[in-house]
Structure 1
Amino acid sequence: MTETERKLGEFGFAGDDHVVPFAVEPLDVRGRTVQLGPLLDRILERHDYPEPVARLLAEACVVTVLLGTSLKFEGKFILQTRTDGPVDMLVADFTTPHSLRAYARFDADRVDAAIEAGMTAPEDLLGGGVLALTIDQGEHTQRYQGIVELNGITLEEAARTYFRQSEQIPTDVRLSVAKLVLPAEGGPREHWRAGGLLAQFLPDSPERRRVQDMHGGDGDERDVSVHPDDNSWQELLALVATIEPTELIDPTVGTERLLYRLFHEHGARVYEGVRVVDDCSCSGQKIKGILQGFTAEEITDSVEDGVIRVACEFCSKSYEFDPAEFASAQ
């Protein structure tokens, strides 16, 4: 047993904004779980999103940190949707070892209409389109990207489909989001919480973890069950199905206590948590580099009141530039 590997109870509670890796060796299962709190408040409060949009972006953040913290190299994990729904774009990216940023683009009128009509489920807000999950190891490397169609499915279902299509690893994902109103000095305040659990079946034998083939799309009527007929994996699915949405977000439960509730009969091993922070990678130097690639006409069109103003879509930080800085580059 290493310094970063303990049985349940040997670590103190990881608390909010920490991803906790775990293993249930008797079931050949590994996974990660997380509860997001203050981090989520900071990301969402910058933009004052309508509540259904905030919920959707919170789910995207949970999926991103669960997958991004599994990277064993320096790089990025990027989740992005492009759809025809009221929320036509979600972006969340995780930069190793612990930096998360996210934003949502939406049509305010269509979102208001969806709220009035009671059509605020994730699949209603997203509509049809694609979810792209990208792994970027930086310069001089090729990006790896998995694409999942979004046609009436949730982000939770899309994450399962991603692993079935791209990784061929039996995977289950559970997500939960809630807005709490808590007493505070000066009056009640709203706080966001989100949680998630990802579990994967990883036995030593490739035959045991192999998923069945996807539908061929040409009239093939094969069984396309996403899970292997393995007793250990089926037991895992049954255990995960017992999770109540409130358990994933309740700070009095915590990630380690939730794992104990699920797997105490088998024994679960947890690993030291990975702290996730709200950290945007924008900078004046990066934006200046982009502007230096603009044509003279594009620079002129970008000038307002004698300056060029650029706001980061993620963190809302604003940058100002003198157009004369780019005259010599044209």
Structure 2
Amino acid sequence: MTLGQKIAWDDTVLPFQLDNIDIRGRIARLDGVLDSVLEQHDYPPLVEAMVAEAALLTAMIGQTVKLRWKLSLQIRGDGPLRLIATDYYGPTEDGEPARIRAYASYDAETIDLDADPFSQIGKGFFAILIDQGNDMKPYQGITPLAGGSLAACAETYFAQSEQLPTKFSLTYGRSTEPGADESWRAGGLMLQHMPKASPLMAKDDAIGDDGLLAAEDILDGDEAENWNRANMLLSTVEELELIGPSVAPTDLLFRLFHEERPVVYDTQPVKFGCTCSEEKVRQSLSIYSARDLGHMTKEDGSLTADCQFCGAHYVMDPNTVGFEAETSDDGQ
């Protein structure tokens, strides 16, 4: 693959369908966007890795949302790594990039940086939230953390909340190419049974010991056989095939699934993007009284707020925010 071809596939999500077996999927490659997400923070490597995995999952899952919709992924636990939050903003127009942002909250004193990263989350939940815009009720789905990785949690979520068998193969980490600086790079492939499987609710005695559904609880007959075959083929993928630069995603699909007749659709470009603004900060503070805001005011008389996603720092006069705010002649 030439450098031009490599760049063309970087920071994109390629949707596809396997026509012969009613399975759809996405291939994602994140490069610059992942660096942009992580350079907003100074996380230790363990936390960076978990944020990278969450961002990769978000790019692949978010590709299906409609224009201007927002999909959020939240992982909350009772361990030192308390929260991982990501947002995916659907493009405003066809052909435009989607935007991703992410951050994590952790206890620097108790986190074990030599432990398995997923173990530092502890017990908690995995949630997907979809905001369809004004006058629309947001969708929220929640499942317990399970499976030993964020990818496994996402698979459990789709089986449990959507009754859609789903499988991920992900790789991510720091990479170095000749003559280039070290940078973050990630690649992933997602398979998902078409939604017609969704109404096939599992019987009570088919649910696992943990009370959660899995793909084998939902599919049977030819559908189960096809799903198992696709997963066997997916298991042969190599890390370098997922992140490049030697194999284009289209070539990888043909190598893995040529007998299943893969059909590819237009790629969705993604980039880092934060939607914070002073106006939104003021709006979030509009529910507070002057007395409440007084407790938040610094010694120098200013009120400050920092964006957890991009680190933007906002400084405001406390007299101009809250529901008792003073207004100037221009309405500000």
Q: Say yes or no: does 1:228 pair with 2:212.
A: no
| 1:239–1:220 Cα change, 3 Å | closer
Question: Aligned-residue CA RMSD in angstroms?
Answer: 2.8
Q: Say yes or no: does 1:121 pair with 2:117.
A: yes
Offset of residue 214 of structure 1: 5.8
* Alignment check: 8 A CA contact 1:169 1:209 kept: no
Offset of residue 170 of structure 1: 1.8
Q: How does the TM-score come out when normalised to structure 1?
A: 0.85
Amino acid at match of 1:49: Y
Q: After superposition, where does 1:39-54 map in structure 2 within 5 Å?
A: 39-54=33-48
| 1:233–1:132 Cα change, 3 Å | same
Amino acid at match of 1:28: D
Amino acid at match of 1:280: C
Q: Say yes or no: does 1:237 pair with 2:231.
A: yes
Offset of residue 248 of structure 1: 1.8
CA distance in 2, matches of 1:238, 1:100: 31
Amino acid at match of 2:290: A
Q: After superposition, where does 1:203-218 map in structure 2 within 5 Å?
A: 206=196, 210=200, 212-213=202-203
Residue 109 of structure 1 corresponds to 109
| 1:220–1:90 Cα change, 3 Å | closer
Residue 139 of structure 1 corresponds to 134
Residue 65 of structure 1 corresponds to 59
Offset of residue 48 of structure 1: 1.6
Q: Say yes or no: does 1:299 pair with 2:293.
A: yes
CA distance in 2, matches of 1:107, 1:302: 23
* Alignment check: 8 A CA contact 1:170 1:226 kept: no
Pairing partner for 1:189 from 154, 173, 181: 181
| 1:226–1:246 Cα change, 3 Å | farther
| 1:259–1:276 Cα change, 3 Å | same
CA distance in 2, matches of 1:191, 1:256: 24
Partner SS, residue 108 of structure 1: coil
CA distance in 2, matches of 1:219, 1:24: 32
* Alignment check: 8 A CA contact 2:207 2:217 kept: no
Q: Percent identity?
A: 37
Q: After superposition, where does 1:1-330 map in structure 2 within 5 Å?
A: 14-97=8-91, 98-111=98-111, 114-115=112-113, 118-122=114-118, 124-151=119-146, 153-182=148-177, 184=179, 189-202=181-194, 206=196, 210=200, 212-213=202-203, 225-226=216-217, 228-229=219-220, 230=222, 231-304=225-298, 305-326=300-321, 328-329=324-325
Tell me, which stretches of 5 or more residues in structure 2 are unaligned? 92-97, 327-332
CA distance in 1, matches of 2:211, 2:304: 56
Offset of residue 290 of structure 1: 1.6
CA distance in 1, matches of 2:87, 2:281: 18
Amino acid at match of 1:295: S
* Alignment check: 8 A CA contact 1:170 1:210 kept: no
* Alignment check: 8 A CA contact 2:197 2:219 kept: no
CA distance in 2, matches of 1:221, 1:329: 51
| 1:227–1:239 Cα change, 3 Å | farther
- Bigger relative CO (Cα 8 Å, ≥ 6 apart): 1
Decide which moves more: 208-217 or 126-135: 208-217
Q: How does the TM-score come out when normalised to structure 2?
A: 0.84
Offset of residue 257 of structure 1: 2.5
Offset of residue 223 of structure 1: 9.7
* Alignment check: 8 A CA contact 1:178 1:249 kept: no
Offset of residue 269 of structure 1: 1.3
CA distance in 2, matches of 1:183, 1:223: 45
Decide which moves more: 53-62 or 165-174: 165-174
Residue 8 of structure 1 corresponds to none
Residue 329 of structure 2 corresponds to none
* Alignment check: 8 A CA contact 1:164 1:211 kept: no
Partner SS, residue 66 of structure 2: coil
Partner SS, residue 160 of structure 1: helix
| 1:217–1:180 Cα change, 3 Å | closer
CA distance in 2, matches of 1:190, 1:308: 38
Residue 94 of structure 2 corresponds to none
Offset of residue 175 of structure 1: 1.7
Offset of residue 220 of structure 1: 11
